[in-house]
């Protein structure tokens, strides 16, 4: 890794829904991952859990719907990521999306667009200088 290049910041995303089963949630997570890979991000990886027990399907309920996104420091990359997630969520209101950097977390649920926008803008302000 180039020592002069700033290290990406990991943003944790969790998708959950009372309306989706594990396979639907996994597929939805893959769809979001694919869209996030089109952004200027360092990486978008699924959170890895323990190996599935022998004889079971490979879905780990503890890690389904979890992504780690590496973004460059500053406002631009973080805003691009969060605006994409917010826009993506607007057509999938049955999902709850949690976004976390370190110990700071926000949740996109069924709030109004204006409320979500304020929440996202405050989160970006808090982390814009990291």
Q: What average pLDDT does the chain have? A: 84
Say if CB 29 and CB 64 are below 8 A apart: yes
The DSSP letter of residue 76 is H
pLDDT (0 to 100) of residue 62: 55
pTM: 0.81
- Residue whose tokens read 């949740």: 107
Q: Predicted confidence band at 58 (pLDDT cuts at 50, 70, 90)?
A: very low
- The stretches of 1-130 forming alpha helices (DSSP H) are 22-36, 75-90, 113-127
Say if CB 67 and CB 33 are below 8 A apart: yes
Q: What is the Cα 47 distance to its own chain's centre? A: 11
């Amino acid at each position: 890794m180039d020592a002069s290049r700033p290290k990406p910041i990991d943003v944790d995303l969790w998708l959950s829904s009372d309306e989706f089963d594990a396979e639907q949630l996994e597929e939805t997570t893959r769809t979001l991952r694919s869209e996030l890979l089109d952004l200027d991000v360092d990486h978008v990886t699924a959170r890895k859990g323990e190996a599935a027990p022998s004889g079971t399907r490979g879905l780990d309920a503890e890690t389904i719907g979890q992504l780690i996104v590496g973004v460059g420091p500053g406002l631009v990359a973080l805003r691009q990521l969060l605006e994409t997630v917010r826009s993506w969520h607007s057509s999938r209101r049955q999902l709850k999306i949690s976004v976390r950097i370190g110990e700071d977390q926000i949740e996109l649920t069924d709030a109004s667009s204006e409320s979500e926008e304020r929440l996202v803008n405050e989160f970006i302000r808090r982390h814009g200088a990291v």
